[in-house]
C-alpha cells in the first residue's frame, strides 16, 4: 500500500493497528497558519470506533498529540507530526492466525510482496491506519478554510442501497444525524438495515461516499489536476481577493 500522498501538501502515515500507535507526518503546510488541535480532535472523534453497533467495537480514545511543526498555536513551516496512541491493542487475539491468511484481507498480498507479514489486526492494512489520514485531513481543512474553501462529504451508497437524490436536493446539515452519515433520512434507515443484515450473515458490505468542494478558485485548477499558484502562501492579490 502507499504510505505517502500528495505533492504540495504531502502526508506520510506510520504505525500499525496493534503497535504502540499510529501517526502522520505532514510536509508542505506553510508557516503562519493558526492550527487548532481541538478541530483535529473533533474530526478524530467523528471517526472514532465503538460509536455504534454498526462499527468496530474496538475502544480507542484517539487523542491526538501534536509533536512538532507548531509553536504557540501557529505552524512553523517545518514538518508537522501528529501521533495517536493505541490503547485497545490486544495482539494476542490474533496469535491463532499467525500462520493463516484471512480471506478478503491484505495478509497474502503483504507476504507475497515483502516476504513478511504483520498478522496483528492487519498491521498497516488495517482500517485503523485511516485515523492518521483523518488527522492530516483536519489540518488540510483548516488550511483550506483560510482561503474560504470548504469540503463536505457524505455516504451516498451502502451496497445496493443508494441515495436517490442529487446533492443539490439534499439537506447536508442532516449528515451527522445518523450513524451512517447519510443526509437523506429514509435512505439512511435502509443503509443501517443493510449493514445489520450483513452483520447477521457474518458478511461485509461495501459503500460509496461523495465529497463536495466549495469556493475553490478556478485559477487553482487545471483540466488534469488541482494545484496552487506559487504565491498562495504569501496571499498576494493574484491568489486572494
Q: How many Å apart are CA 87 and CA 114, to the nearest integer? A: 28
Domains of the chain listed by start with CATH number: 1-145 (3.60.150.10), 150-214 (no CATH)
- Give the cell for residue 130: 485511516
Entry pTM: 0.79
Residue matched to cell numbers 498497516: 124
Q: Tens digit of pLDDT per residue, the chain (241 long)?
A: 579 999 899 999 999 888 889 999 999 999 999 999 999 999 999 888 766 667 666 667 789 999 999 999 999 999 999 999 988 656 556 667 677 777 777 778 878 888 877 766 566 777 889 999 999 999 999 999 998 999 999 999 999 999 999 999 999 999 999 999 999 999 999 999 999 999 999 998 999 999 998 887 776 655 544 444 444 443 333 333 3
The Cα 164–Cα 159 span in angstroms is: 14
Q: What are phi and psi of 129, to 5 degrees?
A: -65, -25
Q: Give the per-residue pLDDT at 237.
A: 35
Edge-to-edge strands, sheet with 150-158: 161-162, 150-158, 207-214
User: Of 64, 53, 59, whose CA–CA distance to 90 is shortest?
Assistant: 59
Amino acid at each position: 500500500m502507499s504510505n505517502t500522498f500528495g505533492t504540495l501538501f504531502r502526508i506520510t502515515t506510520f504505525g500499525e493497528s496493534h503497535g504502540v500507535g499510529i501517526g502522520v507526518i505532514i510536509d508542505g503546510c506553510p508557516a503562519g497558519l493558526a492550527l487548532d488541535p481541538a478541530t483535529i480532535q473533533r474530526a478524530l472523534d467523528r471517526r472514532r470506533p465503538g460509536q455504534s453497533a454498526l462499527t468496530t467495537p474496538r475502544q480507542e480514545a484517539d487523542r491526538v498529540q501534536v509533536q512538532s511543526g507548531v509553536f504557540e498555536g501557529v505552524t512553523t513551516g517545518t514538518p508537522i507530526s501528529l501521533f495517536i496512541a493505541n490503547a485497545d491493542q490486544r495482539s494476542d487475539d490474533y496469535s491463532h492466525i499467525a500462520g493463516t491468511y484471512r480471506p478478503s484481507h491484505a495478509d497474502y498480498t503483504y507476504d507475497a510482496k515483502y516476504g513478511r507479514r504483520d498478522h496483528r489486526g492487519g498491521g498497516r492494512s488495517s482500517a485503523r491506519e485511516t485515523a492518521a489520514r483523518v488527522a492530516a485531513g483536519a489540518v488540510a481543512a483548516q488550511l483550506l478554510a483560510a482561503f474560504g474553501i470548504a469540503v463536505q462529504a457524505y455516504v451516498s451508497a451502502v451496497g445496493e442501497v443508494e441515495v436517490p437524490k442529487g446533492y443539490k436536493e439534499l439537506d447536508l446539515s442532516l449528515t451527522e444525524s445518523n450513524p451512517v452519515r447519510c443526509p437523506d433520512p429514509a435512505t439512511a434507515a435502509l443503509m443501517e438495515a443493510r449493514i445489520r443484515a450483513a452483520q447477521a450473515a457474518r458478511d461485509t458490505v461495501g459503500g460509496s461516499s461523495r465529497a463536495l468542494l466549495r469556493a475553490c478558485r478556478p485559477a487553482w485548477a487545471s483540466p488534469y489536476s488541482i494545484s496552487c499558484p506559487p504565491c498562495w502562501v504569501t496571499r498576494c492579490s493574484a491568489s486572494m481577493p
